[in-house]
């Protein structure tokens, strides 16, 4: 089951996107509806709210007086946190119950206005953020909700800002005014990404690689993307995963690279290499078939010391390599040291870029990028390995995680 988080600031157009996704075939679960169910008359949630905030927030018909409660919590952080502590666990339980009722092949969209504020990004395979310019959102609130400009601006200021939403979301849908344009974006997202993502997830299949070894200028959002992906792995795998590190070229600021996020998943022992197979697949990272190991380096030529497991993303539009390695093994250590060496040494970073460009040009027609990777291996063993070892000895480097 592909789980999608849908969010967006007030009056950005999230409801329009949710409605279109429902028409296309998604099961949309509205967090606001669940929140109302969680505090309906007779629920433990409403009883707890009455105990915390008093009878003044209960209407004459026994329902929650939302405007009265809103006036209490809007400018009071402590009161708002207490309310969240009552409502959020109940909403999570209701959401989990909805998922259990749905067939596993469905695509579920969880419409959550405060997804970013409540740090929920790791709960989903993909997060969509709907946004619009602030002036357009204020115009909509004045026209559709009868708010003053100051009231509308205050509502916007009380929510996460664009930077925070950008860090939490994988997909940005811009809704600047013409509804047809945002609906077209939604349709394209559904057919090009969500449907094949779900098909791959159900089949336990990695997304097909496409495009060849194309080097892109360094993207400053790569670390944020890696953090989101790693958080999903940690959320699904639990304590079996000790840490998830962003490695490879996209982890080196300023270095052009293939648009592929490399993650190192650290586990305690060889048995756990296989224990995490199923949770990684559920998180959206199926195992690549075959027996995998890193190419042994001269300092430790025993192939058995370089065993790992290799997973990749089921998402067709976000290529990810997941290297599962045992803490302390040569491959685990080398991945971290090589990354930190390139971050610290400008000259070596330039030399590595020249190697990458030459390999990319030689294997430009290979969509698998296997030839590109193999072409770099001699440089790693003959040139980089002794240089990295000398650098770690000279600097006293230790693995940061």
Domains and CATH numbers, the chain: 2-203 (3.40.50.300), 222-395 (3.30.460.10)
Residue appearing with tokens 């009878």 = 55
Please give the pLDDT value at position 133: 87
Please give the pLDDT value at position 22: 97
Dihedral sign, CA of 203, 204, 205, 206?
A: positive
Please give the pLDDT value at position 114: 87
Q: What is the DSSP string of 274-311?
A: HHTHHHHHHTT-PBPSS--BPPPBTTB--GGGGB-EEE
Please give the pLDDT value at position 78: 92
3-state secondary structure of 29: strand
Q: Annotated binding site for ATP, which residues?
A: 11-16
- Identify the helix (H) or strand (E) that includes residue 137: helix 134-145
Q: Annotated binding site, which residues?
A: 11-16
How many angstroms from the chain centroid is the CA of residue 15? 22
Non-local CB neighbours of 65 within 8 Å, separated by 6+ positions? 56, 57, 58, 59
- What's the pTM value of the predicted model, to 2 decimals? 0.90
Non-local CB neighbours of 374 within 8 Å, separated by 6+ positions? none
3-state secondary structure of 176: coil
Q: Are 29 and 22 in contact (CB under 8 A)?
A: no
Characterize 61-100 residue by residue with b for buried, 16 or more Cβ atoms within 10 angstroms of its Cβ, and e for exposed: eeebbeeebeebbeeeeeeeebbeebbbebbeebbeeeee
Residue 176, φ and ψ in degrees, nearest 5: -95, -5
How do the pLDDT tens digits run along the chain, 401 residues long?
999 999 998 888 899 999 999 999 999 999 999 999 999 999 999 999 999 999 999 999 999 999 999 889 878 889 989 998 999 899 999 999 999 999 999 999 999 988 998 899 999 999 999 998 888 888 888 988 988 988 889 888 888 888 898 899 999 999 987 889 999 999 999 999 999 999 999 999 999 987 789 999 999 999 999 999 999 999 999 999 999 999 999 999 999 999 999 999 999 999 999 999 999 999 999 999 887 899 999 889 999 999 999 999 999 999 999 999 999 999 999 999 999 999 999 999 999 999 999 999 999 888 777 889 899 999 999 999 999 999 999 999 999 97
Cα 82 to Cα 291: distance, rounded to the nearest angstrom = 51
Q: What is the DSSP string of 41-81?
A: TTSHHHHHHHHHH-GGGB-TTSSB-HHHHHHHHTT-HHHHH
Characterize 297-316 residue by residue with b for buried, 16 or more Cβ atoms within 10 angstroms of its Cβ, and e for exposed: beeeeeeeebbbbbbbbbbb
> Which of 183, 191, 147, 232 shows the shortest CA–CA distance to 13?
183
Cα 18 to Cα 275: distance, rounded to the nearest angstrom = 36
Please give the pLDDT value at position 367: 79
Please give the pLDDT value at position 250: 98
Please give the pLDDT value at position 82: 93
């Amino acid at each position: 089951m592909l789980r999608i988080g849908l969010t967006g600031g007030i009056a950005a157009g999230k409801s329009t996107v949710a409605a279109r996704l429902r028409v296309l075939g998604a099961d949309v679960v509205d967090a606001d509806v669940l929140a109302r169910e969680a505090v309906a008359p007779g629920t433990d949630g409403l009883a707890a709210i009455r105990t915390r905030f008093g009878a003044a927030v209960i209407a004459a018909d026994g329902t929650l007086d939302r405007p009265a409660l809103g006036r209490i919590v809007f400018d009071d952080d402590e009161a708002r946190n207490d309310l969240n502590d009552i409502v959020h666990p109940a909403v999570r339980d209701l959401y989990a119950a909805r998922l259990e009722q749905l067939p596993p092949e469905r695509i579920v969209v969880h419409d959550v206005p405060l997804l970013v504020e409540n740090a929920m990004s790791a709960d989903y395979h993909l997060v969509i953020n709907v946004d619009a310019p602030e002036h357009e959102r204020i115009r909509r609130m004045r026209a559709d909700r009868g708010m003053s400009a100051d009231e509308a601006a205050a509502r916007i200021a009380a929510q996460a800002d664009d930077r925070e939403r950008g860090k939490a979301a994988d997909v940005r849908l811009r809704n600047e005014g013409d509804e047809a344009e945002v609906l077209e974006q939604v349709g394209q997202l559904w057919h090009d990404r969500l449907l094949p993502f779900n098909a791959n997830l159900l089949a336990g299949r990695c997304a097909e690689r496409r495009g060849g070894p194309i080097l892109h200028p360094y993207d400053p959002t790569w670390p944020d993307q890696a953090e989101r992906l790693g958080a999903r792995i940690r959320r699904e795998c639990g304590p079996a995963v000790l840490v998830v590190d962003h490695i490879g070229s996209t982890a080196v600021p300023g270095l052009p690279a293939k648009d592929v996020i490399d993650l190192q998943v650290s586990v305690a022992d060889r048995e756990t290499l296989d224990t995490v197979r199923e949770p990684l697949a559920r998180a959206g990272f199926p195992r690549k078939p075959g027996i995998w190991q890193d190419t042994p380096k001269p300092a430790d030529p025993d192939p058995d010391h370089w065993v790992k497991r290799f997973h990749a993303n089921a998402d067709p539009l976000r290529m990810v390599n997941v290297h599962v390695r045992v803490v302390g093994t040569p491959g685990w250590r080398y991945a971290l040291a090589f990354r930190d060496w390139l971050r610290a040494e400008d000259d070596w970073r330039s030399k590595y870029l020249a190697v990458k460009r030459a390999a990319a040009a030689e294997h430009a027609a290979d969509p698998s990028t296997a030839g590109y990777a193999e072409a770099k291996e001699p440089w790693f063993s003959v040139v980089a390995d002794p240089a990295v070892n000398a650098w770690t000895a000279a600097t006293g480097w230790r693995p940061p995680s």
